[in-house]
Structure 1
Amino acid sequence: MASGVATVWVPVDDMDRAVAFYGQTLGLDVTSTSPDWSEIDAGGLMIGLNGREETATRSAGGAVISFQPDGGLDDEVARLKDAGVEFTGPISDHEWGRIAPFKDSEGNDLQFYAPPA
């Protein structure tokens, strides 16, 4: 039986670029770095940046990490667009909440999620 999620592994091609994206662009805490493995604290969930894997830009599908924005979803999308982040679609509204899909610096799928108002 699984007792929880220990780590989410994210494949990266360029560790320095990925660490800058998660640490500086998204504003998450970088807890350790090395050429092959770096750790990001995403509010108690550890994201491991794995420099030994191929990124999603070489394949279709895969996991998506959803983040909760600190402020309003629209404001955070605008901030990231100003920082050059690639959004793969507009903000979409659903009965279960709002999402804004984007790519990290390595082409992996991410999104912001905001619960319904």
Structure 2
Amino acid sequence: MATGVASVWVPVDDMDRAVTFYRDVLGLKLTDEQPQWSELDAGGLMIGLNAREGASQHADGGAVISFRPDDDIESEVDRLRAAGVNFTGEISDHEWGRIVPFKDSEGNDLQLYAPPKN
């Protein structure tokens, strides 16, 4: 039986660029940095940046990591856009919350998620 998520691995082409994005742009705490593997603390969830091997192909689709902004979602979108983040859509409202999709420095799908206000 699975009792929780231990970590999330994200494939990266350029470790330095990816570490800079996750640490400096998203504001996660870097806990380990190596040429082929780096780790960041995302509020108790370990995100591992895993260097791709040169022959590895990018895949369409796959996992999406959702981040919860500290402030309102609009403020975080403004902050990330000012840092050069590529948003692939606008904020959308749903009964289960609000999301906005964007890409990391390596082209992986990410999103901001804000729960519904009660």
Q: Give the AA of the match of 1:49.
A: L
Distance 2:53 2:83 in 1: 26
Question: What is the CA-CA distance between 1:58 and the residue it aligns to?
Answer: 2.4
SS of the aligned residue for 1:62 comes to: coil
Counterpart for residue 8 of structure 2 = 8
In 1, the alpha carbon distance for the partners of 2:50 and 2:38 equals 7
Question: Within 2, Cα distance between the matches of 1:22 and 1:14?
Answer: 12
Aligned position for 2:105 = 105
The TM-score, its normalising length taken from structure 1, stands at 0.94
- In the alignment, is residue 18 of structure 1 matched against residue 18 of structure 2? yes
Query: How far, CA to CA, are the matches of 1:44 and 1:20 in structure 2?
Result: 20
Q: Is the 8 A contact 1:99 1:112 kept in 2?
A: yes
> SS at 1:58's partner residue?
coil
Partner of 1:70: 70
Q: 1:48 to 1:95 in 2, by over 3 A?
A: same
Partner of 1:35: 35
Query: Quick one: distance in 2 between partners of 1:37 and 1:80?
Result: 25
Tell me the percent identity. Answer: 71
Name the aligned partner's letter for residue 15 of structure 2.
M
1:58 maps to 58
* In structure 2, distance between residues paired with 1:75 and 1:62: 27
* Aligned AA (1:72): D
* Ranges of 4+ aligned residues in structure 1 off by more than 3 Å: none
Contact 1:11–1:53 at 8 Å: present in 2 too? no
What TM-score do you get using the length of structure 2 for normalisation? 0.94
Length, aligned pairs only: 115
CA shift at 1:59, angstroms?
A: 2.0
- What is the rounded CA distance, in whole Å, between the counterparts of 2:6 and 2:53 in structure 1? 19
- Unaligned residue ranges in structure 1 (runs of 5+): none
Task: State the Cα deviation string for residues 19-73 of structure 1 (Å, max 9, x = none).
Answer: 000000000100010000000000000000001358xx82211000000001110
Give the alignment's Cα RMSD to 1 decimal: 1.3
Amino acid at match of 1:93: D
Q: How far apart, CA to CA, are the structure 1 residues paired with 2:32 and 2:95?
A: 38
